[in-house]
A and B are shown apart, each in its own frame.
Chain A
Amino acid sequence: MVELVLFVVFAAAALFGAVTMVWARNPVYSAMGLMLSMFSVAVFYVSNGAHFIAAVQVIIYAGAVMTLFLFVIMLIGVDKAETRTENLPLQRPAALGLIALFGAGVVVAGRSAWVTGRTVSPGSPIDGSIEEVGGELFNNWLLPFEITALLLIIAAAGAIALAFFRDDEEGDA
């Protein structure tokens, strides 16, 4: 019962944050809406036993990534004059039709079995503590973990290269 109430409250918060993000004219409000969504999603992680992922979500997403976004929004200025008019004719009716089709698909899928394949084992619930996740990460998922490290290094080097080489030295970057 407590779980249901928690889910309803934070699902409403997540959806409100997401809609705010999409609709707000001011990009700062959009970033704040996404931050609200991220915090609510962290609550869902906790209710699924993923305590470490929830902490990572709050620290990385709601902390680092959103700070980066706010920095960039402040750097390039808050442009509220974004046009909302559609240039393509028939796009909005077509979008409504596709949304209806998608909703019908969800309803049809909801009437059949939600999860196919493996049945639920009556094992103990996953405890997503740092110990548990770290043990699996460094034993069975070591290679993907190292590849992720490589990816992060490449991304950091790429970001530095993008910022470092100005366009007055053409071709160097």
Chain B
Amino acid sequence: MIVNQFLVLAALLFSIGIYGVLVRRNAVLVLLSIELMLTAVNINLVAFGQYLQDALVSGQVFALFVITVAAAEVGIGLAIVILIFRNRSSANVDELDLLKW
């Protein structure tokens, strides 16, 4: 099993995710892009775990932890997005300049 192609694919997916975070202005789309980046990291973890044949199965266990953290992050993030939308009737991250002076 060669690991290279998975690394290249994960790098591409991560880059697309970064592009989405930087370019999209809808807060929901930013969160979606973050999910894509976390998934790309998971591909790396699982591929390296199989490549090194780690006795602790640490690659897969860490992928599991990343999925859990992603689920928690999505719950909180979407709650915040809904609150912001309720208060300002917009989920556009460009218009959220409350902390700007």
Question: Which A positions have Cβ atoms within 8 angstroms of B?
Answer: 3, 7, 11, 14-15, 18-19, 21-22, 27, 30-31, 34, 37-38, 41, 44-45, 48-50, 52-53, 56-57, 60-61, 64-65, 68-69, 72-73, 75-76, 79, 82-84, 102, 106, 110, 114-115, 118, 120-121, 123-126, 128, 132-133, 136-137, 140-141, 144, 148, 151-152, 154-156, 158-159, 162-163, 167
Contact = CB atoms under 8 A, between A and B. Distances in A.
A64 B68 CA distance: 12
B46 A158 contact: no
Contacts of B67: 53, 56-57, 60-61
Contacts of A7: 5
Contacts, number: 198
A136 B61 contact: yes
Nearest to B63: A53
Contacts of B63: 45, 50, 53
Q: Is the interface of A mostly helix, strand, loop or mixed?
A: helix
Q: How large is the interface on B (under 10, 10 to 19, 20 to 34, 35 or more residues)?
A: 35 or more
Contacts of A68: 74-75, 78
27 contacts: A18-B13, A19-B16, A21-B33, A21-B36, A37-B39, A44-B9, A48-B1, A50-B46, A60-B67, A72-B82, A82-B92, A84-B23, A106-B8, A110-B4, A115-B52, A120-B51, A120-B53, A126-B49, A126-B50, A126-B59, A133-B60, A137-B64, A141-B56, A155-B76, A156-B72, A159-B75, A167-B87
A151 B68 contact: yes
Nearest to A51: B60
Contact of B71 (A34, A60, A126, A144): A60
Contacts of A64: 71
Contacts of A137: 61, 64
B52 A120 contact: yes
A162 B80 contact: yes
B96 interface: no
Contact of B81 (A15, A38, A76): A76
A72 B78 contact: yes
A79 B26 contact: yes
Contacts of A31: 32
